[in-house]
Amino acid sequence: MSALFGTAVAVEAQKALASRVMISIAALVVGGIAVLSVGMLLGAATGDEQILAKMGPLAGVGGWAGLVGVVAQITAAGGVVAFGVALSWMFGREFADGTVGGLFALPVRRSTIALAKLTVYFMWAVGVAILLAAVVAVIGLALGYGSTDATGLGELVRIPVLVVLTALLCVPAAWVATIGRGLLPGIGATVVLVVIAQVFAVIGIGEWVPLVAPALWAITPDAVPVASLFLVPSVPLAFGVLCALAWSRLQLDR
């Protein structure tokens, strides 16, 4: 079982690299967040009222804390969309490209293939998290925070944690892409996740909602109990099991 799972992971990793979709999404996530963050900081520095309004309480925060807060604010919204699209592609493309039929001839259980896809996705998300943290560190050093706010460098830890947790919360998109047999259902589920998160954030109970807690914690750590972050794994675990079960029950005629 372990050997077959390892083989499945290797194959899924090769498929992800060969298509370049995952690499492109990673580049867009890291590059887009970096550019938007710098733009918002520059806009805030010039006193742009619209930018200051969007930043909210972060408008008065400087140094590493301010930079990380802005990055977290952008990642909270854009990250969900990017990771949801990535998962929708990984699972939905098998149906869209008509390659799902070939999986029935493999000596590997389809549930194992589903778990292998999720494993590759998780490893990719960790890579994106590390890369984004490194880029933000470079931006902070370029802005002079290395000398003016050296003690605040530890704030960077929030970025990879937020990225990984955000990626885990998007696993429902993989399940929906499977039962919907395509990319669009998964992308639609991603949009629903964003809407649900926004609703809970607006009504003020987001600190104990897995879809919202990581973003709130990353933006304002003191306002969110760290214990609430331990609820996040319940989402990928539950939907990961559902996804594996859905793949195990796939039929060629449906």
From CA 37, how far away is CA 159, in angstroms rounded?
Answer: 13
Question: What pLDDT is stored for residue 175 in this prediction?
Answer: 97
What pTM was estimated for this model as a whole?
Answer: 0.91
Both tokens of residue 229? 């972050």
- DSSP string of 69-95? HHHHHHHHHHHHHHHHHHHHHHHHHHH
Both tokens of residue 160? 């990879």
Mean pLDDT by 10 residues, the chain (254 residues): 84 89 94 91 75 68 82 90 96 87 84 95 97 93 76 82 96 96 94 91 82 88 86 95 94 64
Question: What pLDDT is stored for residue 232 in this prediction?
Answer: 94
How open is the CA angle 189-93-196, to the nearest 5 degrees? 10
Both tokens of residue 250? 């796939």
